[in-house]
A = this chain, B = another copy of it.
Amino acid sequence: MVYPDTFEGFAVFDPSPETWSSVKKYEFTPKPFEEEDIDIKIETCSICGSDAHSARNGWGKPNAQYPMVVGHEIVGKVVRVGPKVTGFKVGDRVGVGAQSQACLECKICKSNNEIYCPKLVHTFGSIYHNKDGSTTFSHGGYSNYCRIHQYFVFHIPEIFTNEEAAPFLCAGVTTFSPLIRNIPTNLPEGVKPKVGIVGIGGLGMMGIQFSKALGAETYVFSRSSKKKEDAFKLGADHFIATGEQENWIEDISYELDLILCTANSNENFDLNTYLKALKIGGKWVSVGLPESPFTVSPRSFMANACFMGASHLGSHVEMIQMFKLAAEKGIKPWVETIPMSEAGVKEGLEKCHYNKCRYRVALTDADKAFD
């Protein structure tokens, strides 16, 4: 069978260490087409750290299901719209991020927090609950098509190429949301907020640019100074190589309103020291999802009444705000491209997982991969 009955993607069949990146073509049945759904012919899908995590079952989900097609930074063209779809028509260039369903009726959804809806469905590796009572396993964007509720589909501003647009859909909004929610807006006139961004990768490069665009004096933290020049090109005002400057915390104690941590691991990560960089009542927000728990001394919090938390993706409203700001300010991710294929996906996933890209890989030409 073919579209619209089945879609085809490059799937991970086995998450074990030897095979996680060896994808193969895989035909799957999408969720039933519902009245608010949009079918998108995929052109480009960039590679998020979560793709590699999920391909490896890095979070150890007991119910993870393979074959799994990953990918949730998707750009393509609308090829079909349901009868209740408004604002999209066939031919529109659109994007899809990491969320593709929520109840849209609970108090959380109604408060523009549908990313935290208990009925959240992720674009891949999750379970759709369909209106007809059936369920469908969700597959991602290393595919020829995707079928998504209109609330989770977004217009792409013209100034962005496909590969520039794609990383906004997860990495972009994942950093934009905690910044827009937590950068203080009640500082005295003339006092700029100060924001720290920990880590320069797919998330960090977006966070640095958004922090600047949102008016914050921006401090970038990295273990070594290898990425120092890149940090300044992205807009950093200050750069701190935590592994090279002994007592680095001394110059920055009690300075920052907010630290956005994009690091994906807690190993050798000195959270208790980072917390000292926060102003009284400042916030540390993790957008990486480490595979191990946080361990924090109560005294670290008591020293400056700081807070620690995390953030997940960004909302529909924030996605639109983000694209508007990015288009206005000329914010763009740095992207390498690889044409989508079995070999291309393998190369891209491994570059991502082993931090070998600067700072995102986009899989292009999806339309050619499945012809």
Residues of A within 8 A of B (CB): 107-108, 111, 113, 116, 178, 181, 254, 280-281, 283, 286, 289-290, 293-299, 301-312
- Enumerate chain B residues within 8 angstroms of A308, measured Cβ to Cβ: 301, 307-309
Output the nearest chain B residue to A312 by Cβ-Cβ distance. Answer: B302
CB contacts (< 8 Å) of A297 on chain B: these are 293-294
Copies in the complex: 2
Q: Are A111 and B280 in contact (CB under 8 A)?
A: yes
- Which residues of the other chain, B, contact A290 by a CB distance below 8 angstroms? 298
* Complexed CA–CA distance, A308 and B297 (Å): 12
- Taking a contact as CB atoms under 8 Å apart, the answer to whether A301 and B309 are in contact is yes
Residues on B with beta carbons closer than 8 Å to the beta carbon of A296 = 293-294, 296
10 example contacts (A-B, Cβ-Cβ < 8 A) are as follows A113-B305, A178-B305, A181-B281, A293-B296, A294-B295, A294-B298, A296-B296, A301-B310, A302-B312, A305-B309
Contact of A299 among B107, B283, B289 (CB under 8 A): B289
Residues of B contacting A289 in the complex (Cβ-Cβ under 8 angstroms): 298-299, 302
Given A254-B107, A294-B295, A295-B295, verify A181-B312 contact (CB < 8 Å). Answer: no
CA distance in complex: A305, B305 (Å): 18
**Chain B residue, CB-CB nearest to A185:** B186
Please report the C-alpha to C-alpha distance between residue A178 and residue B296 in the assembled complex, in whole angstroms. Answer: 19
Q: Distance (Å) between the CB of A327 and the closest chain B CB? A: 26
Given known contacts A107-B254, A113-B280, A280-B113, A302 and B298 CB-to-CB distance under 8 angstroms:
no
Q: Are B312's CB and A305's CB within 8 A?
A: yes
Chain B residues with CB under 8 A of A283: 307
Contact: B305 with A307, CB < 8 Å?
no
A255: nearest residue on chain B (CB-CB)? B107
Once the chains bind, are B311 and A305 in contact (CB under 8 Å)?
yes
A306 touches B309 (CB 8 A): yes
The 8 closest A-B CB pairs, nearest first, are A301-B310, A307-B309, A307-B307, A113-B280, A302-B312, A302-B310, A301-B309, A293-B297
Most chain B Cβ neighbours within 10 Å, of A178, A181, A305, A309: A309
